[in-house]
Amino acid sequence: MIILKSKEEIFLMRKAGKIAAETMKLIKKAIRPGVETIYLDKIAEKFILSQGARPSFKGYRGFPFSICTSLNEEVVHGIPSHRRLKEGDIIKIDLGVEVDGYNGDLASSFPVGKVSEEAFRLIRVTKEALEMGISQCIPGNHLSDISYAIQSHTEKNGYSVVRQFVGHGIGQAIHEDPQIPNFGTPGKGPRLEEGMVFALEPMVNLGQSEVEILSDNWTVVTCDRKLSAHFEHTVAITSHGPLILTA
Ligand code: MG
């Protein structure tokens, strides 16, 4: 069941989204060669708590940290560690913030120092795919119009979308109905209505779409070990169109 949110609830979700966006900005500033991914987690947790908020991911199904840090061929759910960033890496940061009982979910991909042209283009196309999905968040559209927009932009650029992990509804829970695949044919699924709030999150692979989970039971990697990028925003559907809450 898709839970519709009132204007007041969307206002609270905007608060969570803003803290998430500010956290991401702090992390972005700290990303450089030599930095340990666990340091990024510490900065994030400290800031989120200082805002009277809670990192939604910490303790979620036993996840031990406040953010996910996924490098290069890691797609999502990478665990912060003492591993150091290297020049040429791409890092994906995924974070959730809960405040006043409502959540915001946000992910971005960043180059570490100077990266290959290939890596840079992958990041750009993934970000554009998210923007294409967001542009479909209009009352009256179908859910799969979002999926189709993301998939077609990705594949037109020669990349593939991950199929095993999907976007989702969000509100008082970090994961709510519906599931929002990053692939599909247009015109299918429920009609979008004012008050729906979605976390759209294309995961785009340079090579094949297949992914697997490492033995740590969290880290998702591409099977061909080629690069992957990820962007996510929490978006409310309003009568004026999409409202990005994590901007
Ligand atoms: Mg998410």
Separation of 200 CA from ligand 1 center, angstroms? Answer: 7
* Phi, then psi, of 37 in degrees rounded to 5: -65, -25
Separation of 166 CA from ligand 1 center, angstroms? Answer: 8
- The per-residue pLDDT for 127 is 98
Separation of 104 CA from ligand 1 center, angstroms? Answer: 9
Separation of 88 CA from ligand 1 center, angstroms? Answer: 26
Within 10 A of 135 (CB to CB), how many other CB atoms are there?
14
- The per-residue pLDDT for 51 is 98
Return per-residue pLDDT of the chain as tens, 247 residues. Answer: 999 999 999 999 999 999 999 999 999 999 999 999 999 999 999 999 999 999 999 999 999 999 999 999 999 999 999 999 999 999 999 999 999 999 999 999 999 999 999 999 999 999 999 999 999 999 999 999 999 999 999 999 999 999 999 999 999 999 999 999 999 999 999 999 999 999 999 999 999 999 999 999 999 999 999 999 999 999 999 999 999 999 9
- The per-residue pLDDT for 194 is 98
Long-range contact set of residues 6-14: C-beta below 8 Å, sequence gap at least 24: 6/195, 9/102, 9/171, 10/195, 10/197, 10/236, 10/238, 10/243, 10/245, 12/99, 12/100, 12/101, 12/102, 13/102, 13/103, 13/104, 13/170, 13/171, 13/197, 13/234, 13/236, 13/245, 14/243, 14/245
Domains and CATH numbers, the chain: 7-244 (3.90.230.10)
pTM equals 0.97
